Amino acid sequence: MNDYEQELIALLEAILMASDVPLSLKEILTILDEENYSESDIIRALFTLEANYREAQGGIELVEVASGWRFQVPSRFSKWVGKLFEAKQQRFSSAFFETLALILYEQPVTRGDIEAVRGVSVSSNIIRSLEERDWIKVVGRKEVPGRPMLYGTTDQLLDDLNLKSLRDLPPLPELETLFKEATTVEEEALVV
């Protein structure tokens, strides 16, 4: 590895460490716009940096999630690191979980589609809670009488679940386990 590559890797490490949100390749390119780094060099350096952290098996890892690249604590340490924040596991009602799962796996869907599958009406509080968490959004309107809103998931949800894309979703029975591992809330558990 030459000095140019080492400097780029160190620069990317510094930028990603300083950022409190994942950075997309486009954002990284914007930050480095005055430098003479090519997109392919940046991509190669990101993957090298990711491999370096993975091989070190330390307390930090570099991961690519839906909205970009970020440093995080490996999940094998979350039990202990979570204690720093006095975090408690977030609990979801079955209605909340079922609604989110239907949107996640069947998107885009209308509220009526969800109600047809679940057999009961969907609480406005559940939809609002999902929107406030930035886990779902209106992605359009269905071309039927009344033009109901179509809901889909956001990159924020994928980020919170440590997923790069919808293709990375586990089979439905494993989704609840994924949520238990990935979602915590500071102070007290929330029941929706």
pLDDT tens digits, 93-151: 889 989 999 999 999 999 999 999 999 999 999 999 999 999 999 999 999 999 999 99
pLDDT band at residue 35, thresholds of 50, 70 and 90? Answer: confident
Q: What is the pLDDT of residues 41-59, one digit of tens each?
A: 999 999 999 999 999 999 9
- Classified by CATH at the fold level, domain 3-72 comes out as Arc Repressor Mutant, subunit A (1.10.10)
- Residue closest to 175 by CA, chosen among 72, 63, 61, 99: 99
**CATH 1.10.10.10: does it fit domain 88-185?**
yes
Share of the chain above pLDDT 70, in %: 90
pLDDT band at residue 90, thresholds of 50, 70 and 90? Answer: low
pLDDT for the residue numbered 33: 83
Domain with CATH 1.10.10.10 in the chain: 3-72, 88-185
Give yes or no for a contact between 153 and 136, defined as CB atoms under 8 angstroms apart: yes
pLDDT band at residue 183, thresholds of 50, 70 and 90? Answer: low
- Residue closest to 69 by CA, chosen among 162, 185, 168: 162
Give yes or no for a contact between 60 and 77, defined as CB atoms under 8 angstroms apart: no
Block residue for tokens 């950022």: 19
Q: What is the pLDDT of residues 95-104, one digit of tens each?
A: 998 999 999 9
